[in-house]
Amino acid sequence: MKSKLEKYVTQIVQQTDCSKEEKEDLYEELLVHLQLSKDEIMLEEGLTQAEAEEKAMQQFGSESVIGNQIQQSLFPFRKELQLTLGISSILFAISAYMFHLLVEGNAQITWLILFIGFSSLLVFIPLQQNYTFNCKRWLNSLLVIHLLTAIYGYLMVNSIDHTASLGLTIWVWLNIILSIFLIYQATTHDINSSYKPIKLIHIMNITSGLFISAGTLFFLWGYLFAYGEVRLTILLNLIPLTIWAASYYIQTKMAHKNKTLTITLAFLPLVCITIAVLYFFIGF
Amino acid sequence: MVKKKTLVILFLLLVAITIGLIVAGLFLNKTENEKLQGLSQYYDVSSKNTIAYVMYRDGIPALRLYNKDEAINAEAIKLTSEQMILDPSFSPDGSTLAFISTFKDMKSELKSSVHLLDLRTQEIRELFNVPYIVTEIEYSPIGNSLFYLQAGTFENYSPIASERPHDMDILEYDLVQENHTQITNLKKYNMNSLTIAPDAKSVYVVMDDDADAETAEEIFNTKQRVFNISFDHPENPTIASDIEREEDIFSFTFTPTGNEMIFNSISNVDSGDTFQYELYRYNVDTKEEKQLTNLESYSTDPVIGHDGKTIYFMVDQNFGKRTPQYHLYKMTMDGNGLEEITLPNIN
């Protein structure tokens, strides 16, 4: 059974978005520091072990504040950037919805609810200090969904023949760029600096993933435009994205075992994308 | 650290704003039928220079009459937002105006009515209605019948094409006998710009020159040309426009002399930019062609004024974008003296 001090340190560590190894290191460091502090208090003030533990924790500060400070020092500006993206997106959602409603007479209610919902999560998660939902996996999932709804918002405002459309288009693209930046940051920032290649692997995979996702969305749109209905063959459009996801998963598992093969696998989609883009635009 | 109470207030505020926006959306949302706005491309000019034009306000179509010299500025009829008014056509003497009413949702309500407005009495009566789409009507120069284009279906023949009227044919409605005569049995993919020959013994129409097209590639490469269809041999249309012309013709009209046609066609096919549709004049006898406009927009539906010296035409200044923005222009037969005609009550 964990002591009160151990539970206290665990609560602090849980609020950080570190890898398992980093959390273990941080836990060890904090626990040792607090135990030394407790021993010092016991010696100097003649308190019991329980009383000294309580005082050491009191002097160190509240778990939420300390956890937040460590998180901030490990991931500088993430909280601010998340808040900026969330607030900016909420304001954009309101503006774009009203713009579309007043100019086109279209009430995009489903999009409004989804975009305000996802944007609100981006605001509430850093504010309410619960890092259970601020871990990389949750945050990236939220950012990707937010990105998709933002792209739909771009298509919405871009479809309107109005001078205000340009301003809203620039606004939503700033949100999209910030969203993509946060995906890169959330995925790569906390990687153990002792093993650089995995950071490169993540960057290459996110880059190729963005291009493949954009291509998939384009072909899904083309499919629906051509056939006007959803058929089973629509799943064929998802093959490149599935291969990319499987390849990314395999790379993360074998990154420490076979560096050359992993980097080659990560590099391959980028080569394919470059060839496809050159073929599409230049038609060599 | 933000207090829990503040977060709850913030959350409730966002919920309230979202609900407010949803309610506003439910009130201000427009159906597809209510979205048409402003001047449409359909108009005609009478022998007395009265302009009949169709405009929309919140999707509700209205047929209006305007003649500055005779101080005419009136709304002839207004229909519901589910309907459309197509192709007003004056009788040769300018005393009556025929027009088509049909439904915007052509796929589910395949029905068209042709009406006649008596400009002397202001009375409107339905001439006939058919369970098909009537896309264009035109008075016979003799004035005792109406010719019209009828589409048998409204669908997309290819998955990548939009839904349009197809299976087109030409019919005639006798205003005295009140009966219909089918002139052609061609079931053409596309047919428009119906024009009756001055002798009323044949009609001119724009169609695909696809008589010899057999393969998919040949069909794809067919050109739209002006055809003459004789009432004696309607099964054998003959090409009336320049047979060598590389670009399609979309709409046209003949000059009163009958030896020249004014048509619109794409002027910048090879530029890679958005297509620009300009008006051209083509002399049937000399085979000479001259570009009349250079508005770099979408000039269409030319109509020759009664004096034979003025060309009226529509310009979509918003061409290539989501919603068209039509403006009526006029110019001389040489393309000079370009002038926009400001029609009242179009906004």
A205 phi and psi angles, rounded to 5 deg: -70, -40
Q: Considering only CA atoms, which of B253, B257, B146, B260 is closest in space to residue B195?
A: B253
Q: Does A107 contact B29 at a Cβ distance shorter than 8 Å?
A: yes
A vs B: CB pairs below 8 A:
66
Cα–Cα distance, A74 to B264 (Å, whole number): 67
- Supply the DSSP string of A95-164, one letter for each residue: HHHHHHHHHH----HHHHHHHHHHHHHHHHHHHTT-TTSSSHHHHHHHHHHHHHHHHHHHHHHHTS-STH
Any domain includes B108: no
- Over chain B (347 residues), the average pLDDT of each successive run of 10 is 81 96 95 89 95 95 94 94 95 95 84 94 94 94 91 69 78 94 91 91 92 78 92 93 92 90 93 91 94 96 93 94 91 95 84
The whole-number pLDDT of residue A284 equals 53
pLDDT of A131 strictly over 60:
no
Name the helix (H) or strand (E) containing A260.
helix A259-281
The residue segments making up the domain with residue B253 are: 241-347
User: What was the pLDDT predicted at B290?
Assistant: 95
Number of folded domains in chain B? 1
Q: Which two tokens stand for residue B77?
A: 């009829």
State whether A107 and B26 contact (CB < 8 Å).
Answer: yes
What is the C-alpha to C-alpha distance for residues B224 and B241, in angstroms, rounded to an integer? 10
Q: Is B313 exposed, middle or buried (0-12, 13-18, 19+ CB in 10 A)?
A: buried
Sequence letter at residue B132: Y
Structure tokens at B56: 């929309």
Secondary structure of residue B22 in the 3-state scheme: helix
Please indicate whether, in this complex, the C-beta atoms of B7 and A68 are within 8 angstroms of each other.
no
CA dist A198 and A216 (Å) reads 26
In a domain, B123, yes or no: no
Judge whether A78 and A86 are in contact, CB under 8 Å. no
**Cα–Cα distance, B43 to B52 (Å, whole number):** 5
The reported pLDDT for the residue numbered A276 is: 85
Burial class for B201, CB neighbours closer than 10 Å (0-12, 13-18, 19+):
exposed
Q: Is residue B288 part of a domain?
A: yes
Rounded to whole angstroms, the Cα distance separating B62 from B65 reads 10
Please state the ipTM of this predicted complex: 0.77
> Chain B interface, mutation test: which of A112, A115, A223, most B Cβ atoms within 10 Å?
A112
A65-111 pLDDT per residue, tens? 888 788 778 777 888 999 999 999 999 999 999 999 999 899 999 99
The single residue listed with the structure tokens 């109406």 is B146
> Residue B90 has what DSSP assignment?
E
Tell me if residue A235 falls in helix, strand or coil: helix
Residue B168 domain flag? no
B1: amino acid identity, one letter: M
The CA radius of gyration of chain A, in Å to the nearest whole number, is 24
> For B343, which DSSP code?
-
Query: Residue range A181-198: average pLDDT?
Result: 71
Q: What residues of chain B lie within 8 A of the CB of A114, using their CB? A: none
Q: Is residue B248 part of a domain?
A: yes
Of the candidates B75, B147, B64, B149, the residue with the CA atom closest to the CA atom of residue B112? B149
Which among A65, A94, A227 is the nearest to B1, CB-wise?
Answer: A65
Start-to-end CA distance of chain A, whole Å, equals 68
Euclidean distance between CA atoms B36 and B134, whole angstroms: 20
Residue A141: pLDDT band by 50, 70, 90 thresholds? confident
What span, in angstroms and rounded, lies between the C-alpha atoms of B102 and A28?
Answer: 79
- Across the interface, do B28 and A109 touch by the CB < 8 Å criterion? no
Encode pLDDT of A198-247 as tens digits. 788 888 999 999 889 888 988 888 888 777 777 888 888 899 999 999 99
Q: Tell me, what's the pLDDT at A140?
A: 84
Distance separating alpha carbons of residues A160 and A162, to the nearest angstrom: 6
- CATH code of the domain in which B341 resides: 2.120.10.30
Asked if B204 and B197 count as a contact pair (C-beta separation under 8 A), the reply is yes
Residues of A within 8 A of B318 (CB-CB) are: 161
Q: Residue B160: which of A107, A120, A226 has the nearest Cβ?
A: A226
* Token pair 């771009």: residue: A154
| Collapsed DSSP state (helix, strand, coil) of residue A45 | helix
Cα angle A13, A15, A18 (rounded to 5 degrees) comes to 70
Phi then psi for residue B180, to 5 deg, are -105, 145
B12 in any annotated domain? no
Annotated domain spans of chain A: 4-70, 84-283
In the prediction, which pLDDT does A109 show?
96
Q: Which residues contact B110 (CB under 8 A, 6 or more apart)?
A: B131, B132, B133, B154
> Is B188 a domain residue?
no
**How far apart are the CA of B36 and the nearest CA of chain A, in angstroms?**
10
Q: How far is B165 from chain A (nearest CA, A)?
A: 18
| Torsion on CA atoms B64, B67, B72, B75, rounded to nearest 10 | 0
Contacts of B29 in chain A (CB under 8 A): 101, 105-107
Closest in A106, A116, A159 to B18, CB measured: A116
Whether B247 is covered by a domain: the verdict is yes
Q: Is residue A57's pLDDT more than 80?
A: yes
